[in-house]
Amino acid sequence: MTRYRLAWWKVLTLILLYYTAIGGFLLPVPRLHILNESIRLNYFHVPMWFSMMFQFAYSVWYSIRYLRSSAIEDDDHAFVATQVGFLFGVLGLITGSLWANATWGTFWTTDPKLNNTAIGLMIYAAYFVLRGGLQDETQRARLSAVYNIFAFSIFIPLIYILPRMTDSLHPGSGDNPTFRLFDTAHNMKLVIYTSIIAFIMTGWWFKTILFRLRTLTRLHHEI
């Protein structure tokens, strides 16, 4: 019974993902200038960013906790959450490139949001390089925690603040219509909200798996 009580949210995650896939590809969407059918990528591209930001924020929280507690479990939480966040960030870039090719005619442009996101993810890639270059566990955990907080504080302005200070090809700027034009498309709102929840829960599922694997690996080394 305990296992069933613990697994209900995983079943819910699968149901929400299934609805996202079906609704994302089959339900009607508004016929907007430039976007057309490519607007369906909104069901996957945007929720990936939500999952990425959730994991990065969660990681920073545990980095702060580690600096206060020095508990290695807090560092493990921060590390695996950053791994999952980075994965969804890369997937977000890939889906964004596909969307860009469909609407702008190229997989990559000089759009500030695209470039800033790539820079932000490279900053996080350096986080993994830093961890891989340190052998002492305590030193690695402490320096990684400080760097993780720094990376997050830079990442937010890069992808949310700076792009809004200049013209962007993203919806709401340039020749692309703002997403407010389909606010009346209730079927789209239902799918996108469901997808956001589904991808956040999927990211959390990944995080729990990686955390358990990391814990088991540490126990095996101690034995």
**What range does the domain containing 44 cover?**
15-222
DSSP 177: P
Residue 139 lies in a domain: yes
Residue 7 lies in a domain: no
Q: How far apart are CA 93 and CA 79, in angstroms?
A: 21
Residue 81 lies in a domain: yes
Residue 77 lies in a domain: yes
Residue 40 lies in a domain: yes
Digit-coded pLDDT (tens) for 147-176: 999 999 999 998 888 777 776 666 545 444
Residue 159 lies in a domain: yes
Digit-coded pLDDT (tens) for 174-200: 444 445 544 546 678 888 999 999 999
Digit-coded pLDDT (tens) for 68-102: 999 999 999 999 999 999 999 999 999 988 888 87
* Mean pLDDT taken over the chain: 85
- pTM given for the model: 0.88
User: What is the number of structural domains in the chain?
Assistant: 1
Q: How many CA atoms lie within 13 A of 153 on its CB side?
A: 9
